[in-house]
Each structure stands twice: as structure tokens, then as C-alpha cells.
Amino acid sequence: MTSTPASAELIRHAGLRVTDSRRAVVDALESHPHASADELFQQVSARLPQTSLQSVYNALADFVAAGLARQIEPAGRPRLYELRVSDNHHHLVCSQCGKVEDVDCVVGAAPCLHPSETHGFAVEAAEVTFWGVCPDCAASPL
């Protein structure tokens, strides 16, 4: 639960200064792999009560710019952040509670990466979001 030296390494390797709030944000992201800025702020606040929400936004923006974190934006929901950046994976979002799970790219040779017609676009990335109902929501009466 306490800030591991590993988080400092991560931050430093990304070319950023190591600060308490940044370490706290990294730690929060490690225990909550798909969290919004606000959720992360809650987590961070528990350990560093003086940290501002803006600092969390700052840290996240810096992380994303440095390639340390990635953001996803499920339709109609606040932006979520994750540390898993090295591979190309997708997401499965519960349309009821918003819970998010990682999904490795679909079977075989990433079929989703190649649209049938490109309309002349230089395609750079494919983003896939699966929507469904998670086991918990399916079990609960609504």
C-alpha cells in the first residue's frame, strides 16, 4: 500500500521529476487500473490530503505525454487512465456500472486494425470498445 521505489523509477525513467503526488498517482493507478482523474484524486487524497485535483490532472497529462500512461474515453463517461501502455489492447465496459476490463486484441492477426475502405486516410490506430453487462450487474436486481 505504501509508495514503492518502483513508482519513482517509472517516473524518473519517463523524464519527469519525482514528486510525492506523482508517486501517489502512479500507486493509485497500479491498484485501480482504469480510474478517472476524480477517482484517482480520492485515492491520492487519502495519503496526501493536501494534493489538489488539478495536480492529479497535471500528473496524468504529463504521464500520457511521456508515454507512461494511456487514456481511454468510453462514450458518456469520464476519461479513464491506465498504466498498461506497452501493448495494443482493447476494453470491455459494463454499460450499467461502468466497470472496465482489458481485452487482448481479437484472435489472430489484429483484424480490427484494417478497415475495408480507408477513404484515403492514413490509418494510425484502431480503438475497440466492447459494451456489455458485467457479472455483478447481471446478478443484481438493478
What residue ranges bind its own copies (CB under 8 A)?
71-73, 75-76, 79, 90, 92, 94-95, 101, 103-108, 111-112, 114-135, 138
Asked if 88 contacts 105 with a C-beta cutoff of 8 angstroms, the reply is: yes
Distance (Å) of CA 49 to CA 41, 42, 46: 10, 9, 6
Q: Which of 3, 32, 33, 53 binds DNA (CB under 7 A)?
A: 53
Classify 30 as helix, strand or coil.
helix
Q: Which of 3, 42, 45, 58 binds DNA (CB under 7 A)?
A: 58
Question: Is there binding between residue 36 and DNA (CB under 7 A)?
Answer: yes
Classify 17 as helix, strand or coil.
coil
When the beta carbons of 49 and 135 are compared against its own copies, the nearer one is: 135
Q: Which of 1, 5, 17, 117 binds DNA (CB under 7 A)?
A: 17
Read off the amino acid at residue 97.
C
Q: Which residue reads 476524480 in cell numbers?
A: 38
User: Per this entry, what is the length of the chain?
Assistant: 142
Question: Is there binding between residue 19 and DNA (CB under 7 A)?
Answer: yes
Asked if 36 contacts 80 with a C-beta cutoff of 8 angstroms, the reply is: yes
Nearest distance from C-beta of residue 98 to DNA, angstroms? 10
Asked if 52 contacts 37 with a C-beta cutoff of 8 angstroms, the reply is: no
Nearest distance from C-beta of residue 97 to its own copies, angstroms? 11
Which residues, 86 to 115, sit near DNA by CB under 7 A? none
Nearest distance from C-beta of residue 29 to DNA, angstroms? 14
